[in-house]
Chain A
């Protein structure tokens, strides 16, 4: 393990034999890992009470294998579906999915929507860097209109998916969006998401200077963070703005925080009812 990690106060949460991480210098993934470790530490959660699931891509590597918990590194797009099976089997554990935008909202978008609809108690930290980073910087369903990628070399003619808004509409208990330039708010939201009973999503707008910034006049990570800060609009303010004014902006804040019946509780209640109905309970 390199020297630098010995000074990191939350090193106990990391799988030391897997370090250093494979993330590029300046990647937002490290910030997300740090925010997650801070949230776990802040809540005094025992990592043995966690199962972390991820898909494929750079952001899927943030916690699998670097976070020291039971970790399931799955196939592309399917992390939430795998996590659904884990949560049903271990309803008392905290099941967390950490993965990227292409993984969870692109190829895996259907599972994201349906897990929110089902309101299963899974916390999803979706790292949105607008790009397929691991494969070399191709167009994603989150790439901003007009942006350049290796498969939109002239300009992107599609409009990005509004992930937090979509998941809010689908029925999640908790949804928030922050950027890697809003670390303290991010930690607080992850803490809330881990605490809320039901499906929770924390969307983190994150920088990929190597694959996205470089092709869009933001080669330095700091330039990307400044871009996030300049273009972030708090939700309350955004509600008073017109859609065209919000084009290319990042609406940040808590979208929903509400109580709805949770899936695994309902499932176990159903089993009780059925066993009661058929007289199967031990007398």
Chain B
């Protein structure tokens, strides 16, 4: 039985279980409720700080809505089970942190190659290696982008609060389903463990998307074709008598392996890239504050976007024309908008909880005559309004 999340029985269960209102909860819980509202009915994971609360919430809530929680033997097996479940039609998710994210990279690439919709939450913590296991960080920006091997596109979103985590998780599922692709949520240990008010809406307010299914036998015979020209093939799910063949090896449109013909590989990998490139409208998202007349632009993401906004507001009070640009979908990076904004300002500051990662993406889109400076903090303590404000004053 396929569960989309918006059928009457599911709506009845959600309405009975989750009364709309403001709830005091951790960011990790907000991700979990977002997933359940989006229709996620399969979760496989392995305990890891600071992502364990997602597993705990899913273990507690999923059975109530006829969903499945599995605790696997490791992170590699977790994402493997998620891919397997997705091919049966279940909206599926796993959550982990840096070390587990590293272990999942091979099968994340498998999901890209086999065009398997899934959501992977990486609750970033301080690394490298075991690092400061209980402390938040933003050090996985490029692990999300280039962690798996080979040419591949990836979509990653990054929430900036508990409330945002709820909605961004729903958005991540909708993108994954719409484009038949894995979507990474770059969350972090600070927001994951911060308790704040999150408004749980009525299920009727939530847009729920389900993957494209084959309309007929002919479409089902080409699980990796492009019958509609949007780069997204319909997904012939297992268990429907289609005799679908799925492989991470280079394959033809019918799914059968062909690792010898250069054109077959070229066609497949370019189409997977084109699918993401030509559907930018599905996933591109950013926020702007005071960018119309800004002379100093702060570009930030995730948890650091919050003190960045505080600093920009304070700078404005002081008469400094500061603005803020927050990519919400961080991969693919909103480069065109960055380029436009970069032409209008004389300085750009990039605060993040790492030694300078997203700044490298910013750098690709701005001219040399703009002063570009990172505001970096590692050690597990978030940047403060004061620290960012000091940097804004420094370039004002």
CB pair A93–B239 under 8 Å, yes or no, is: yes
Shortest B201–chain A CB gap in Å is 20
B24 adjacent to chain A (CB < 8 Å): no
Q: Which residues of B contact A90 (CB under 8 A)?
A: 88, 238-239
State which of A65, A68, A82, A275 has its C-beta within 8 Å of the C-beta of B80. Answer: A82
Q: Which residues of B contact A73 (CB under 8 A)?
A: 245-249, 257
CB pair B256–A18 under 8 Å, yes or no, is: yes
State which of A53, A111, A271 has its C-beta within 8 Å of the C-beta of B77. Answer: A111
Given contacts A78-B107, A274-B63, A280-B16, contact A86 B77 (CB under 8 A): no
Most buried by B among A88, A89, A270: A89
CB pair A70–B257 under 8 Å, yes or no, is: no
CB pair A83–B84 under 8 Å, yes or no, is: yes
State which of B82, B245, B246, B257 has its C-beta within 8 Å of the C-beta of A85. Answer: B82
What separation, in Å, do the CA atoms of A84 and B78 have in the docked complex?
Answer: 10
Q: Which residues of B contact A15 (CB under 8 A)?
A: 243, 245, 256
What separation, in Å, do the CA atoms of A17 and B239 have in the docked complex?
Answer: 21
State which of A47, A53, A113, A280 has its C-beta within 8 Å of the C-beta of B13. Answer: A280
B85 adjacent to chain A (CB < 8 Å): yes
B326 adjacent to chain A (CB < 8 Å): no
A71 adjacent to chain B (CB < 8 Å): yes
CB pair A88–B249 under 8 Å, yes or no, is: no
Q: Which residues of B contact A77 (CB under 8 A)?
A: 76
Shortest A102–chain B CB gap in Å is 16
Chain A's interface size range is 35 or more
B384 adjacent to chain A (CB < 8 Å): no
Shortest B58–chain A CB gap in Å is 13
What separation, in Å, do the CA atoms of A14 and B157 have in the docked complex?
Answer: 43
Q: Which residues of A contact B87 (CB under 8 A)?
A: 72, 85-86, 89
CB pair A75–B107 under 8 Å, yes or no, is: yes
B241 adjacent to chain A (CB < 8 Å): yes
CB pair A85–B248 under 8 Å, yes or no, is: no
- Nearest opposing residue in chain A for B41, CB measure: A89
A48 adjacent to chain B (CB < 8 Å): yes
Q: Which of A57-102 contact B (CB under 8 A)?
A: 64-65, 68-75, 77-78, 81-90, 93
Shortest B120–chain A CB gap in Å is 14
State which of B67, B81, B90, B242 has its C-beta within 8 Å of the C-beta of A70. Answer: B242
Q: Which of B290-314 contact A (CB under 8 A)?
A: none
CB pair B245–A81 under 8 Å, yes or no, is: no
A282 adjacent to chain B (CB < 8 Å): yes
CB pair A75–B64 under 8 Å, yes or no, is: no
CB pair A280–B64 under 8 Å, yes or no, is: yes
Given contacts A72-B87, A74-B80, A74-B110, contact A84 B70 (CB under 8 A): yes
Q: Which of B227-253 contact A (CB under 8 A)?
A: 238-239, 241-249
Chain B's interface size range is 35 or more
State which of A70, A75, A111 has its C-beta within 8 Å of the C-beta of B239. Answer: A70
Shortest B326–chain A CB gap in Å is 35
What separation, in Å, do the CA atoms of A75 and B254 have in the docked complex?
Answer: 20
Q: Which of B59-105 contact A (CB under 8 A)?
A: 63-64, 66-68, 70, 72-74, 76-78, 80-90, 92
Q: Which of A259-276 contact B (CB under 8 A)?
A: 267, 270-271, 274-275
Q: Which of A171-212 contact B (CB under 8 A)?
A: none
CB pair B243–A47 under 8 Å, yes or no, is: yes
CB pair B243–A275 under 8 Å, yes or no, is: no
What separation, in Å, do the CA atoms of A18 and B258 have in the docked complex?
Answer: 10
CB pair B238–A86 under 8 Å, yes or no, is: yes
Q: Which residues of B contact A86 (CB under 8 A)?
A: 84-85, 87-88, 238
Q: Which residues of A contact B248 (CB under 8 A)?
A: 73-75
B210 adjacent to chain A (CB < 8 Å): no
- Nearest opposing residue in chain A for B68, CB measure: A88
A131 adjacent to chain B (CB < 8 Å): no
CB pair A85–B92 under 8 Å, yes or no, is: yes
CB pair A89–B88 under 8 Å, yes or no, is: yes
CB pair B256–A17 under 8 Å, yes or no, is: yes
B330 adjacent to chain A (CB < 8 Å): no
What separation, in Å, do the CA atoms of A275 and B61 have in the docked complex?
Answer: 10
Q: Which residues of B contact A114 (CB under 8 A)?
A: 72-73, 77
What separation, in Å, do the CA atoms of A275 and B16 have in the docked complex?
Answer: 12
CB pair B64–A278 under 8 Å, yes or no, is: yes
Most buried by B among A18, A72, A267: A72
What separation, in Å, do the CA atoms of A192 and B74 have in the docked complex?
Answer: 30
What separation, in Å, do the CA atoms of A274 and B65 have in the docked complex?
Answer: 10
State which of B66, B76, B238, B257 has its C-beta within 8 Å of the C-beta of A78. Answer: B76
Q: Which of B143-190 contact A (CB under 8 A)?
A: none
A110 adjacent to chain B (CB < 8 Å): yes
0/1 per residue, B240-284, Cβ < 8 Å to A?
Answer: 011111111100001111000000000000000000000000000
- Nearest opposing residue in chain B for A111, CB measure: B77
- Nearest opposing residue in chain A for B244, CB measure: A70
CB pair B242–A81 under 8 Å, yes or no, is: no
Q: Which residues of A contact B254 (CB under 8 A)?
A: 17
Which 9 A-B pairs rank lowest in CB-CB distance, beginning with the nearest?
A: A89-B88, A85-B84, A85-B81, A81-B77, A81-B80, A85-B85, A73-B247, A274-B63, A82-B84
B-side residues, CB < 8 A to A, are 9, 12-13, 16-17, 42, 44, 63-64, 66-68, 70, 72-74, 76-78, 80-90, 92, 106-107, 110, 238-239, 241-249, 254-257
- Sample (8) of A-B pairs whose CB atoms are under 8 Å apart: A70-B239, A72-B238, A84-B72, A85-B83, A89-B42, A89-B87, A89-B88, A89-B89
